[in-house]
A and B are shown apart, each in its own frame.
Chain A
């Protein structure tokens, strides 16, 4: 910009006056026009760029990222649901298998128990029959043995009384005495 020399000197003189006790710079009204002009130009350019480039671009970047993150999160949620489904199916089949195996085991156990019960009952019946028989034998033997014992005792008592007294006691008195001593 070619500027006439007169203007330059005039401004310099004016500027010097302002610096040394002149008007307070923010209130020098002769500078307002050029400040406003350049403010309008620079702020206008900034507004235009902000409106046309900065705001749409940053808005798009952030919206893209938000939608991408949202999409990824949805995908992750779907995959998680799938995995949970698979886990549920696996657990179900596992529970089924366990129930089946338990049923089989129970069946086998029941069969074995029934078999062994039957055998035990047969053996027990057999044994108790034998026991009853043996007890009957014992009672018979005891009875006959007791009979023998009183006969021997009467004989021995009669012999002892004969030897001691010299007189044989009557058969009925000996039997009474032996009977009372056995029972008493």
Chain B
């Protein structure tokens, strides 16, 4: 049985050179990033090329996706958060498509690598900080000072607020990474049990059990794939809300 972590290995497909110890290459990870983006473009650009008043199936799907993200942004970040719609839309769709494409057997899951989710989380948090300071100046740091609290309490509360703010990108990236990694490892292990049991003589009669479990886990992983993309987008919206209205 192959190691359950073999599926997370980065394999270079086309080598481009190296910077110090790090190799720069077009890897399987890069290939699946390109596939995810290509699918998104196919659905949202090619699928809406006719701009029909009465949408076809593909256009209806694209509109549903767009409206879902737009409503999430409107509900969580407010109306002035709509200028971040392209960012949230890109993040949600990129994570969603990487998660879903990763569920195809044999495919590579881009979001199962911490460096990718951390980069996306860093993008969100730097957007929040830079936009917050650009828009509100020093007032942005009012985010760390809860209102209506006795000044003496601030000595305790300000560090807590700072820690909670700093832990956001960590939780944002680790949540997505860990969910994807754990799900794929569990799937691989239970799928491996099927093969192991089939070649274990009389124990082979038990092999439908892990098979049923694998089917159930696959369904669960689809839910997790969509849910984690949604969680990522919603948290992004909530953090952006802070950048837009640091007073709250």
Contact = CB atoms under 8 A, between A and B. Distances in A.
A28 to B, nearest CB: 7
A26 interface: yes
Contact of B181 (A26, A45, A46, A57): A26
A112 B82 CA distance: 83
A11 B8 CA distance: 16
B21 to A, nearest CB: 5
Contacts, number: 151
Interface of A: 1, 3, 7-8, 11, 15, 18-20, 24-40, 42-43, 45-47, 49-51, 53-55, 57-62, 64-65, 68
Contacts of B15: 1, 3, 7-8, 11
17 contacts: A7-B15, A15-B9, A19-B9, A25-B9, A25-B10, A33-B22, A33-B23, A34-B16, A34-B22, A34-B30, A42-B33, A42-B36, A45-B37, A49-B45, A58-B44, A58-B48, A61-B51
B129 interface: no
B107 interface: no
B67 interface: yes
Q: Is the interface of B mostly helix, strand, loop or mixed?
A: helix
Contacts of A57: 45, 48, 51
Interface SS of A by simple majority: helix
Given A18-B9, A53-B44, A54-B86, 11 more contacts: A25-B5, A25-B8, A28-B10, A30-B22, A31-B29, A33-B22, A38-B29, A46-B93, A54-B45, A54-B89, A62-B63
B114 interface: yes
A34 B123 CA distance: 17
A158 B19 CA distance: 179
A68 B116 CA distance: 43
